Amino acid sequence: MTDIKILDAVERYIRGEMNPDERVQFEALRKSNTEIDQLVVEHTLFLQQMNSFGKRKSFKSSLNDIHENLAGQGKIETMKMTGKAKVAYMWKRYKRVTAIAASIAGITAMAISAMVWAVAPKANSDYEKLVGDIKDDIKNIKVENAQQKNAINKVVNTLNDEKRAAIIYKSGGTGFVIDAKGYIVTNYHVIENANNIAVQNNRGEFIAKVVHADKSKDLAILKIVDDNFKPYTSIPYSISKTSARLAESIFTLGYPKNDIVYGQGYLSSLTGYNGDTLSCQIQIAANQGNSGSPILNKNGEVVGILNARQKSTEGFTFAIQGKYIYKALEDLKKSDTSYLKLKLNSKSQISGMERMEQVNKVEDYIYRVKVN
Amino acid sequence: MKEQTDEKALLEGLAASDKRTVETIYKENYNMVQALIINNNGSADDAKDIFQEAMIVLYEKARSGSFELNCQIKTFVYSVSRRLWLKRLQQQNRFSAPGDNMQEVVSVEEDLEQHERRNDEFEMMDTAISHLGEPCKSLIEAYYLKKQTMQEIAAKFGYTNADNAKNQKYKCLMRLKKIFFTHYKNENGDD
């Protein structure tokens, strides 16, 4: 018997797939041949390990699915910690600091008021009456002001609704989510000169605005500002900080037409058009609408952003390297501190999955970007 | 005693990785663990991590058939999560004893020791398989994890017949076993 046949027999023996005759024969062989006996023991252990490994792996991935499902249906509270929960959390975390700060503030306030009281001249009664009147007037003005504001808001809202119905968008390109709260990356040229922007996929159509635009890198970050948009709980892919490697196999999803389109290929050059080091060259079928599509590697890491603008005659396609998303985000944070909390996902959740599953997970995070 | 039989049915379902059962257990325990973590210096992401690890402990315990129902699933999950979180806090030096006036706790030390061992074994197999490279990795996964037949595999991977696929699988298996057992024996060499 060859080794391969022996192992085959051992596996069938362990699984109990042998017929009685075969089994008796094999057991006799096992008794007479210690090497085979050893192999049976060792292989039993190995198969057990393999089995546990497989079971745990699929259990683990099912847990993630269940979490997303239950969170989506609102059956478990996933606190992306808003409102009260967040306050409670911050309070617990920083209560000591808060207490110290509060007592210092208290002492300072008391000291200052004592000083003011000691120094200030005693006010006469006319003066006090005048102050009282002014206070009342201010109060009245404030109330009026609030009413006017409400009225204006109502008008603006109805205007917005009408505007929304009237806008006719034309297709621009593709974009993909980089932060669960609805931040999307796309190419600058996709949204250049746009008055209104909307993004659309099978979750719906949402209004978005540009929060960062960088013409030199041809990158833009959009934020969904639509009341109908529900934030994601997490993002399946990560954004790679390192460059892709030559010949690495890649895939993309984008909206060159009304429906999402999948494409696959490989990284063909580390530099882009005319040796441009900002981008790289990829071998993948793409056209205009693919601009802004994510380029993912087999681990589900975004290594680039497809850029179909500089299409040369030979039909090459180029991609902006993924690490520039980090750069763009840094710039954004520098320009406006309200974006400090934006964070890119650095660990892919779809690593090791089959391509069809990966695409299935990623699909919902890719949008058709429409402009007007 | 209806409750006890219910719990038993849940554990049996869990051991068989029945999706509905897993969902039920998840739904009934998640908020409790999340509250524990968040009340003790953790974030929602920490809560998800810790809870899912506790679910794995429960799953492997149920699967090993050694689960004696001496406490409720809820108590067990809570105790394991609490212990895991304490450990993580200690590692991060943010230690402060979790306040638990809300739940009874059972001792889970032994379960967690077993869990550690299984974690190590899982990691060993994971690294061994990822060291294989393609097409070995996919071939081994298709046969041993997805339990596909040699005919299916031959068709999927483009081998001319099942025997060719079998030959290739054998070579891959030998390499995998070699990598795996080198680590496995090193880890267990002390006893």
State the pLDDT confidence band at A161, using cuts at 50, 70 and 90.
Answer: low
State the pLDDT confidence band at A15, using cuts at 50, 70 and 90.
Answer: confident
Closest Cβ–Cβ partner in B19, B34, B60 for A79? B34
State the pLDDT confidence band at B104, using cuts at 50, 70 and 90.
Answer: low
B106 has a pLDDT exceeding 80 = no
Give the pLDDT score at B190: 47
B67-87: pLDDT as tens digits: 666 678 888 888 888 888 888
CB environment A174-195: b (16+ within 10 A), e (fewer): bbbbbbeebbbbbbbbbbeebe
Q: In A, which residues are within 8 Å of B48 by CB distance?
A: 67, 78
Q: In B, which residues are within 8 Å of A66 by CB distance?
A: 19, 22-23, 26
Alpha-carbon gap: B17 to the closest alpha carbon of chain A (Å): 7
Q: In B, which residues are within 8 Å of A75 by CB distance?
A: 27
Mutate to test the interface with A, among B57, B63, B125 (most CBs of A within 10 A): B125
**What does the alpha-carbon distance between residue B142 and residue B138 come to, in Å, rounded to a whole number?**
6
A92 in B contact zone (CB under 8 Å): yes
State the pLDDT confidence band at A109, using cuts at 50, 70 and 90.
Answer: confident
B41/A4 CB distance under 8 A:
no
State the pLDDT confidence band at A164, using cuts at 50, 70 and 90.
Answer: low
Question: If you measure CA to CA, which chain B residue comes closest to A61?
Answer: B52
Closest Cβ–Cβ partner in A47, A49, A81 for B121? A49
B111-144: pLDDT as tens digits: 888 888 888 888 888 888 888 877 888 888 888 8
State the pLDDT confidence band at A305, using cuts at 50, 70 and 90.
Answer: very high
Mean predicted confidence (pLDDT) in A143-165: 73
Q: Of A95 and B169, which is predicted with more confidence?
A: B169
Mean predicted confidence (pLDDT) in B35-57: 86
Alpha-carbon gap: A357 to the closest alpha carbon of chain B (Å): 15
B44 in A contact zone (CB under 8 Å): yes
For B66, the 3-state DSSP assignment is coil
- Looking at the DSSP assignment, which residues form a beta bridge with residue A200? A205, A368
A8/B166 CB distance under 8 A:
yes
* Mean pLDDT of the residues in chain A: 82
Residue closest to A61 by CA, chosen among A300, A304, A297, A252: A300
Mutate to test the interface with B, among A53, A77, A79, A355 (most CBs of B within 10 A): A53
* C-beta neighbour count of B175 within 10 angstroms: 16
B167/A67 CB distance under 8 A:
no
Q: Which range among A78-87, A288-297, B19-28 shows the weakest confidence by mean pLDDT?
A: A78-87
A39-85: pLDDT as tens digits: 888 888 888 888 888 888 888 888 888 888 888 877 777 655 545 55
What CA dihedral angle connects A134, A137, A139 and A141, to 10 degrees? -130
Give the pLDDT score at A175: 94
A46/B19 CB distance under 8 A:
no
Helix pair B44-63, B73-91: axis angle to 10 deg:
130
Mean predicted confidence (pLDDT) in A132-144: 84
Question: If you measure CA to CA, which chain A residue comes closest to B115?
Answer: A56
- Looking at the DSSP assignment, which residues form a beta bridge with residue A302? A239, A296
- Looking at the DSSP assignment, which residues form a beta bridge with residue A281? A269, A318
A226 has a pLDDT exceeding 70 = yes
Give the pLDDT score at B191: 43
Which H or E run includes A173? strand A170-179
Give the pLDDT score at A135: 85
B145/A77 CB distance under 8 A:
no
A163 has a pLDDT exceeding 60 = no
Q: In B, which residues are within 8 Å of A81 by CB distance?
A: 38, 43-44
B39/A53 CB distance under 8 A:
no
Give the pLDDT score at A125: 67
State the pLDDT confidence band at A95, using cuts at 50, 70 and 90.
Answer: low
Count chain A–chain B contacts defined by CB atoms under 8 A. 97
Percent of chain A with pLDDT over 90: 14
A92/B39 CB distance under 8 A:
yes
A49/B145 CB distance under 8 A:
no
**Which two tokens mark A360?**
């299935």
State the pLDDT confidence band at B20, using cuts at 50, 70 and 90.
Answer: confident
A59/B38 CB distance under 8 A:
no
Give the pLDDT score at B1: 44
Q: Whole-structure pTM over 0.80, yes or no?
A: no
Give the pLDDT score at A330: 86
B38/A69 CB distance under 8 A:
no
A298 in B contact zone (CB under 8 Å): no
